[in-house]
Structure 1
Amino acid sequence: MNPTKKLLIIGFVWPEPNSSAAGGRMMQLISIFRENGFEITFASAAQDSDFMVDLSEFDVERKSIELNNSSFDNFIIELDPDVVLFDRFMIEEQFGWRVAENCPKALRLLDTEDLHCLRMARQKAFKENRTFELTDLLSEEVAKREIASILRCDLNYIISEFEMKVLKDVFKIDSGLLQYLPFLVEEITEKHLLKLPSFEDRQHFVFIGNFLHEPNWNTVQYLKEAIWPLIKKDLPEAVLEIYGAYPSQKVLQLHQPKNGFFIMGRAVDANEIIKKSRVVLAPIRFGAGLKGKLLEAMQCGTPSVTSTIGSEAMHENLPWNGFIEDTPDEFAKKAISLYQDENLWKQSQKKAIAIINECYSKDKYSEELINRVNSLLNDSETHRLHNFMGSLLQHHTLKSTKYMAKWIEAKNKNL
C-alpha cells in the first residue's frame, strides 16, 4: 500500500469562498487533492477573519506561520511534505527559498490566481487613457518578480488560456512548466435550469464582487456614472443591487435608493442572490484571469451582459449567455432587452450549459491535474534538470532573499 502523500498549501490569506472567486478556487483545489488521497495542511501568516472557512470541516490541518521567521524552517522539516502549493507569486517569494532549502525534494507548485502583471499593466494603461499593448508587460516591474517566481516552480496553474498564450508568446515560458487549470465545477443539463427560479420569479439587475479588488470598484463606478442612468431612463422602476465583501466608505457613498442604485454590502449567500436576480451586469474595463462572478451567473441560470475583458478566455468560441458590449449605449440596450424579453432571456440562459460543460468540467481537469502531479513526483530530477533558468533563479534567490529575510528577522528580534 502506497504511503499517504502530504500537501502543504501556503496561503496569502485563509480561504473565504463566500468573499471572492480566489477563495472558491482554493477550495476547489483542496477538494481535488483530498479526493485523491492527499493529507493536506494549510498554512498562512494572515490574521484570522470572521469569514474564513473552517478548514477542519474539510479534513485540512490549519497552521499559523510567521513571515521572515526561521520557525517556518522547523515546521516544514517536521512536516516533510511531498508537494508544496503557493497560492500567489508573493507567497513563493516569501517562502519558496525556505521550502527549497529545507525540503529540496518537495514538488513546488504555484497557483497564479491570475497574472498580476497583466492586470496591473492593463490598469495602468486604462488610467493613462491609452490602449494596452502586450509589450507593456515587458516593462512592468511586477512582471519581473512574477515570471521569476513562475520559473522557480516545478509547475504553475494558469487559470486563463489567454494568460497561457501570454506566458508562452511574450515571456517565452516553456510549456512544461505550465498547466491550464480553469475554475472546476460539475456539469449541468437543462433539467438543472428547471429547478431554478423562472423569468417571472426574478427581479432586479445585480453586480457582485469583492471590493478589495480594484477592477470591481472601477466597474461599480462605471455602472453608476455611465450605464445605470441609460438603463434607468428606459426602465424607471429598475433596481440595480451591488453586492461585495469589504466595501469601503467610498463604495457605500454610492448608495442612492431614489435612483434604484443600492449598495448592499457583503452577500450572505451569493448563489441565492444571483438566482433571484434577472440579469447580471459586469462592464469590467481592466483585469485578468477568469471572472468567478460570471461563471456563478451561468450556474445560477442568470444571463449576463459583460465586456470583452469580462468574457476573456471564459467561453472559447461558444456563444455567450447574454451579451458582450464595450460601449455604455450598447451595453445598456442589451441589458434592457435581456431584462424585458423572456424568449431572449431563456435562449441566453441555455447557452450557459454548453459553456460550463465544455470549459469548466471538474472531472476532466481534475484528472489532468493529479496525473501531472504524480508524473512530476516520479521524476522531478529530470524535470528540474531541463528548467535551467529556474535553477539559476533559485540559486540567486536563495542568496539574496535568504539574507534579506534573515536581516529582517534579526532586526525584529532587536525591536
Structure 2
Amino acid sequence: MNLLVIGYVWPEPASSAAGYRMLALLDGFRQHDWNVIFASPAEKSIHRADLPARGIDEQSIALNCSSFDAFLREAQPDVVLFDRFMMEEQFGWRVELHCPHALRVLDTEDLSCLRHARHAAAKLSGQVTTDVAPRLLFSDHAKREVAAILRSDLTLMISRAEIQLLTSAFQVDPSLLHYSPFMLQPVTPEQQAQLPQMDQRQHFIAIGNFRHAPNWDAVLWLQQAIWPLIRRQLPEAELHIYGAYPPPKATALDNPRQGFRVKGWAKSASEVMQQARVNLAPLRFGAGLKGKLVDALACGTPSVTTTVGAEGMADEQEAWPGPVADTPEAFAAAALELYRDPDQWRQSQQQGFRLHNRHFAFETHAEALMARLETLGRTLDQHRLNNFTGAMLRHHSMKSTQYMAQWIEAKNRHKTD
C-alpha cells in the first residue's frame, strides 16, 4: 500500500506530543510494509525527525500550486492522510481530482474547535473550563473543522470524549470516526525497576511546547497563583519548566530566588521527567490527550492535573491515577500531599504504569487502525454513498476552494512574469 501524509508541520517528537504521535502512526504503517511519503508545505525545522532513517520519503510541497498535481499523479497513493483540517481544506480537492479512489483520512491531533472554544471561555472566567456555551462551540472554526471531517472517509480521533462530542453535539456519524490515541511501547517491569525511586527524585516539573496556548497559560497560572502556595510550604523545592520554543516573555519569568526555573527546550523529555518527583499540569483549557501526562506515566512520575488535563486519559476500567484539582488552592494542596506522601506517590506511580500499558499499547491500536482501513478500502463505494452530506460538501465547498487556489496560483504567476 502507498500512503501519502500531508503534514501541517514536519514531525518534531522531542518538541510536542503531536510530533511523537505522528511518528508512531508512521512507524505503524511502515511495520505493515506500507510505502510512506511525508509531504509538507512547512519549512523544515531543526528539531524534525529523521524520516528517511525510518524508510519514509520526504517531499516539500507548495500551497496553491499545480506542481502538487503532477506530484500526486506520479505518487498514486492508495491512502492520503491529512494532518489537521487545514491540510484537507488546502489539498483535498486536488486529491479527489487526481486520485479519486484513494482513501482520504483526516488526523485531527485534537479537536481544535473545542480547544479554541474553551480558550475563549477561560478568558472570560479565568477558571478551568470544560463545558462551553453553544455560541462559542458552534463557531466558524468548528464549521470548517467539522466540514473537513464530513468530507473525509475517516477521521482519527485521539480522545473518546471528543468522539462523544462530535456524535452528540455535531451529529457526526460514528462510521466516519476512529479512536486512535497515543501508540506507545509498554514500560516493562525491568524498565520500571530501573527508574529512580521517590527518595532519589526532587523538585517539581512542568513541560509543554510554549507555542501551544494551553501550555503558556498553565505557566502563567503556576507563576501567578499556584507556585507561591507550594513554595510557602516547601521553601527548598523548585519548579523546573521545560518546553520547545520559549519566547523572551517566558524566559523572563525565570526566578532562582523563588525556585521558579524556566529551563526551555529539553533534548530528552523522559530524562528530565524521570528526575522530578511530581509533574504539574494545571491546564485551564485545551482538548485532545495531554502528551505531558502520558510521558509522566511512562517515567513513573505521578502528576497533578485539572479536569481538562485528565479528560480522556482513562476509562471505566482504569481510573486516572492522580489528583485532579481545578483551583489554585486545591491544586497546590494536592501537589504538596503527593510530593510528601510515599504511599500515595507509589500507588499513583504503579497505577500509572498499568494505565500506560493498557490504554496506549502500540500493537493494539496499530492493528485496529490497519484493520479499519482494510475494511474501509473494501467497502469504500458504499461508505461514500452513505455519507451524502460529505458528498454535498465536497461538491460545493471544494469547488470554491479549487477556484480560489487556481486564482491565487494565476495571480502569483502573473507577479513573476
Question: TM-score interval w.r.t. the shorter chain?
Answer: over 0.9
Tell me the equivalent position of 2:355: 355
Secondary structure in 1 matching 2:183: coil
1:104 aligns with 100
Aligned pair in 2 of structure 1 residues 135, 208: CA closer, same or farther (>3 Å)?
same
The structural deviation recorded for 1:357 is 2.7
Tell me how many residue pairs correspond in the alignment: 411
In the alignment, which residue of structure 1 is the partner of 2:55?
59
Identity rate, percent: 50
2:76 matched to which residue of 1?
80
User: 3-state SS of the aligned residue for 2:202?
Assistant: coil
- Cα distance, 1:200 vs structure 2: 1.5
- CA distance, structure 2, for counterparts of residue 310 and residue 219 of structure 1: 11
Q: Distance in 1 between matches of 2:351 and 2:46?
A: 37
Residue 335 (structure 2) aligns with: 335
Structure 2 equivalent of residue 304 of structure 1: 303
Tell me the SS of whatever aligns to 1:281.
strand
Query: 2:5 aligned with 1:9, yes or no?
Result: yes
Q: Give, in whole Å, the separation in 2 of the partners of 1:52 and 1:139.
A: 34
In the alignment, residue 90 of structure 1 is paired with which amino acid? M
Task: Provide Cα deviations, 1:11-66, integer angstroms capped at 9, x if missing partner.
Answer: 00111000000000100100111111110000000011111111111000000000
Deviations 1:344-390 (A, max 9, x none): 21111101122113321222211110001111112211111111011
Aligned partner (choices 16, 31, 34) of residue 38 of structure 1: 34
1:143–1:227 distance in 2 versus 1, CA, 3 Å? same
Decide whether the 8 Å contact of 1:110 with 1:155 is kept in 2.
Answer: yes
Structure 1's unaligned 5+ residue stretches are: none
Task: Confirm whether residue 254 of structure 1 aligns to residue 253 of structure 2.
Answer: yes
Structure 1 position 395 matched with structure 2 position 395 = yes
User: Is the contact between residue 244 and residue 267 of structure 1 (CA under 8 Å) also seen in structure 2?
Assistant: yes
Alignment partner, residue 326 of structure 2: 326
SS in structure 2 of the partner of residue 97 of structure 1: helix
TM-score (norm 2): 0.96
Contact 2:114 2:137 in 1 (8 A): no
Which residue of structure 2 lines up, in the alignment, with residue 177 of structure 1?
A: 176
Superposition pairs of residues 126-205 of structure 1, within 5 angstroms: 126-129=122-125, 132-133=131-132, 135-136=134-135, 138-205=137-204
Task: Find the counterpart in structure 2 of residue 295 from structure 1.
Answer: 294
Separation in 2, partners of 1:113, 1:287: 12
Mean Cα deviation higher: 218-227 or 378-387: 378-387
* CA apart distance, 1:323: 0.8
Q: Which amino acid aligns with 1:352?
A: G
Larger displacement relative to structure 2 (169-178 or 132-141): 132-141
Q: Please say if residues 108 and 153 of structure 1, whose CA atoms lie closer than 8 Å, have aligned partners that are also in contact.
A: yes
> 1:346 & 1:189 partners in 2: Cα distance?
17
CA contact (8 A) 1:298 1:321 kept: no
What is the root-mean-square deviation of aligned Cα atoms in Å? 1.2
Q: Distance in 2 between matches of 1:32 and 1:405?
A: 33
Q: For 1:267 and 1:297, locate their aligned partners in 2 and report how far apart those are by CA, in whole Å.
A: 14
Distance 1:246 1:324 in 2: 28
Q: Give the secondary-structure state (helix, strand or coil) at the position aligned to 2:114.
A: helix
Paired letter, 1:147: V
Alpha-carbon offset, residue 137 of structure 1: 5.0
Instruction: Kindly state the Cα deviation for residue 203 of structure 1 after the two structures are TM-superposed.
Output: 1.1
- Compute the displacement of 1:134 (Å): 5.5
Partners in 1 of 2:183 and 2:58 — Cα distance?
24
Following the alignment from structure 2 to structure 1, what is the Cα–Cα distance between the partners of residues 110 and 213? 14
Name the aligned partner's letter for residue 306 of structure 1.
Answer: T
Matched, 1:89 2:88: no
Q: Relative to structure 1, is the Cα distance of residues 179 and 134 closer, same or farther in structure 2, using a 3 angstrom cutoff?
A: farther
Contact between 2:120 and 2:136, CA under 8 Å: does it hold in 1? no
Cα drift, residue 246 of structure 1: 0.7
Mind listing any 5+ residue stretches in structure 2 that lack a counterpart?
A: none
Shift of 1:272: 0.4
Does structure 2 conserve the Cα–Cα contact (< 8 Å) formed by 1:97 and 1:401?
yes
Q: d(CA) in 1 for partners of 2:377 and 2:295?
A: 34
Paired AA for residue 198 in structure 1: Q
- Taking the aligned partners of 2:366 and 2:331, their CA distance within structure 1 comes to 36
